[in-house]
């Protein structure tokens, strides 16, 4: 006689996963396991990390790392130019990272010091000074096409193998200038080989020139670097102007997690510190002064920059938010004696300017720049608890372009010069949703001018 089998209940035959009922006898897709969807599944924590090949996510806090000293004497590498410093940087990087200690002295540079990932460049304070040698310029005496890797100079006097150079030429159409940065690596008379191909045309008809120009410290495609306790002098009076999109006392491009601390960047015929498309940059307790263009240049596309506790003095613009600079912080800086104190513009959104002291700016203490149309402006920025003292010939804070949702909260805006006509805050006609709250304004003929 057959016995009737009891059919399992629906509840016994199913398993609840992330709120969904799944048949027990089904094979679960691998993606469910990889996504951690099984309830109660937690990855065990790393309690005792060990150095493991290829694992960069977890590291050991080693008590000692490699340190190599550089100096004019009594150092691991003896020398007082960029060659000695570069040799130390490359050696330390080759062994996985560590510190290059630059001893007291004046170091004369004919090319940049090129950074490497996981290397700390540590000076000895104000006694470690890197100085740029005077620049020379000449025309090219032969055309070089974009696929060439050499140039011919009209006058090679002042050019040496190993030099950093800028090649410039007017663009064929649309105005502007083509700029390429290279190094001279070989020579026959007035012909020099370059470290890399040109990838742009440099023709005599476009007034192509070569100049011995470079940043003192240059970093491209490097990560996890520290630069601290040294002085960088651009020798402004003996060097040509350099566009801050390509150079500075320090110039960074496509880098991550770079710290600049207790660095003096001065006398550059261009920017003091410039970083382009760089993320999680920290500039702390530095001084950027007497530079021809921008003191601190948070460049295009840079995310989550922190500029804290710096002195930014005597530049054209003190702190410059370039294009698409987002989620940044400028906190506790002294911004003094610049033409413009802080400048914010093209799609620079969601930044906080907090607790800075902005003094004696010639044109404006804070400027929101005019842009092509409102959609290009810097929205959702917060300006909070700053002191603005004696800024501007006409306007201390000028909100131009079409920014939206700006907050000005708890700022002290004062002027003691007794000017006959002076406005504290001017709001342009395209600006929207500008909040002014708990600000203390004194010494102005007009507190707020809404166009």
pLDDT value for 19: 54
Q: Kindly report whether the global pTM for this prediction surpasses the value 0.85.
A: yes
Domain boundary among 157, 176, 211: 211
Does the pLDDT of residue 38 top 80, yes or no?
no
Domain boundary among 211, 234, 267: 211
Q: Which tokens is 91 given?
A: 């050696």
Q: Structural domain of residue 196, as residue ranges? A: 137-211
On whether residue 44 sits in a domain, the answer given is: no
Of the given ranges (10-24, 91-105, 354-368, 370-384), which has the lowest mean pLDDT?
10-24
Contact 214, 247 (CB under 8 A): yes
334 and 189 together in one domain: no
158 and 289 together in one domain: no
Contact 68, 90 (CB under 8 A): no
Does the pLDDT of residue 3 top 50, yes or no?
no
In percent, the amount of the chain with pLDDT more than 90 equals 83
CA-to-CA distance for 292 and 87, rounded, in angstroms? 31
316 and 277 together in one domain: yes
Q: In the predicted model, what is the mean pLDDT of residues 238-267?
A: 97
pLDDT value for 316: 98
Does the pLDDT of residue 23 top 80, yes or no?
no
On whether residue 115 sits in a domain, the answer given is: no
On whether residue 176 sits in a domain, the answer given is: yes
141 and 267 together in one domain: no
Does the pLDDT of residue 439 top 70, yes or no?
yes
What Cα–Cα distance (Å) separates residue 227 from each residue in 25, 115, 265, 281? 59, 9, 12, 11
195 and 330 together in one domain: no
Read off the pLDDT of residues 90-139 as tens digits, 9 standing for 90 and up: 999 999 999 999 999 999 999 999 999 999 999 999 999 999 999 999 99
CA angle 139, 143, 147 (to 5 degrees): 125
On whether residue 121 sits in a domain, the answer given is: no
239 and 158 together in one domain: no
Does the pLDDT of residue 4 top 60, yes or no?
no
Q: In the predicted model, what is the mean pLDDT of residues 246-270?
A: 98
On whether residue 252 sits in a domain, the answer given is: yes
245 and 354 together in one domain: yes
On whether residue 96 sits in a domain, the answer given is: no
Q: What is the CATH number of the domain that holds 341?
A: 2.160.20.10
308 and 416 together in one domain: yes
CA-to-CA distance for 76 and 108, rounded, in angstroms? 19
The per-residue pLDDT of the chain, averaged, comes to: 92
Number of structural domains (the chain) is 2
Does the pLDDT of residue 1 top 70, yes or no?
no
Does the pLDDT of residue 15 top 60, yes or no?
no
pLDDT value for 61: 86
303 and 347 together in one domain: yes
Read off the pLDDT of residues 326-344 as tens digits, 9 standing for 90 and up: 999 999 999 999 999 999 9
Quick count: other Cβ atoms within 10 Å of Cβ 96? 12
On whether residue 259 sits in a domain, the answer given is: yes
320 and 253 together in one domain: yes
246 and 387 together in one domain: yes
Domain boundary among 153, 182, 211: 211
382 and 313 together in one domain: yes
- Residue 343 has, within 13 A of its CA and on its CB side, a CA count of 25
On whether residue 95 sits in a domain, the answer given is: no
């Amino acid at each position: 006689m057959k016995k009737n089998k009891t059919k399992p209940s629906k509840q016994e035959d199913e398993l609840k996963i992330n709120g969904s009922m799944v048949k027990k006898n089904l094979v679960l897709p691998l993606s469910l396991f990889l996504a951690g969807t099984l309830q109660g599944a937690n990855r065990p924590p790393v309690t005792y990390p060990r150095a493991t090949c290829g694992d960069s996510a977890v590291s050991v806090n080693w008590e000692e790392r490699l340190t190599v000293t550089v100096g004019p004497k009594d150092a691991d590498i003896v020398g007082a130019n960029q060659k000695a410093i570069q040799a130390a940087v490359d050696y330390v990087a080759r062994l996985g990272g560590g510190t290059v200690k630059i001893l007291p002295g004046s170091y004369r540079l004919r090319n940049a010091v090129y950074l490497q990932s996981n290397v700390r460049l540590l000076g000895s304070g104000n006694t470690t000074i890197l100085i740029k040698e005077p620049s020379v310029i000449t025309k090219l005496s032969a055309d070089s096409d974009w696929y060439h890797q050499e140039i011919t100079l009209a006058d090679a006097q002042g050019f040496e193998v190993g030099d950093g150079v800028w090649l410039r030429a007017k663009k064929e159409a649309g105005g502007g200038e083509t700029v390429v940065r290279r190094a001279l690596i070989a020579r026959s008379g007035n012909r020099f080989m370059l470290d890399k191909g040109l990838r742009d045309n440099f023709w005599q008809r476009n007034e192509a020139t070569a100049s011995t120009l470079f940043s003192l410290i240059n970093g491209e495609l490097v990560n996890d670097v520290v630069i601290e306790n040294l002085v960088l002098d651009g020798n402004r009076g003996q060097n040509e102007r350099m566009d801050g999109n390509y150079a500075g006392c320090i110039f960074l491009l496509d880098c991550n997690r770079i710290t600049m601390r207790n660095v003096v960047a001065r006398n550059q015929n261009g920017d003091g510190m410039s970083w382009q498309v760089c993320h999680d940059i920290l500039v702390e307790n530095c001084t950027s002064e007497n530079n021809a263009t921008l003191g601190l240049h948070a460049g295009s596309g840079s995310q989550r920059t922190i500029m804290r506790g710096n002195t930014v003095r005597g530049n054209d613009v003190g702190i410059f938010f370039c294009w698409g600079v987002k989620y940044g912080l400028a906190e506790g800086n002294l911004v003094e004696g610049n033409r413009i104190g802080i400048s914010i513009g093209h799609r620079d959104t969601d930044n906080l300017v907090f607790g800075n002291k902005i003094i004696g700016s010639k044109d404006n203490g804070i400027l929101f720049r005019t842009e092509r149309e409102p959609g290009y402006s810097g929205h959702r920025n917060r300006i909070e608890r700053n002191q603005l003292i004696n800024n501007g010939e006409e306007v201390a804070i000028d909100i131009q372009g079409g920014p939206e949702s700006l907050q000005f909260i708890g700022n002290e805006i004062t002027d003691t010069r007794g000017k006959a006509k002076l406005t504290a805050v001017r709001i342009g006609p395209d600006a929207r949703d500008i909040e002014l709250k708990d600000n203390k304004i004194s010494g102005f003929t007009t507190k707020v001018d809404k166009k």
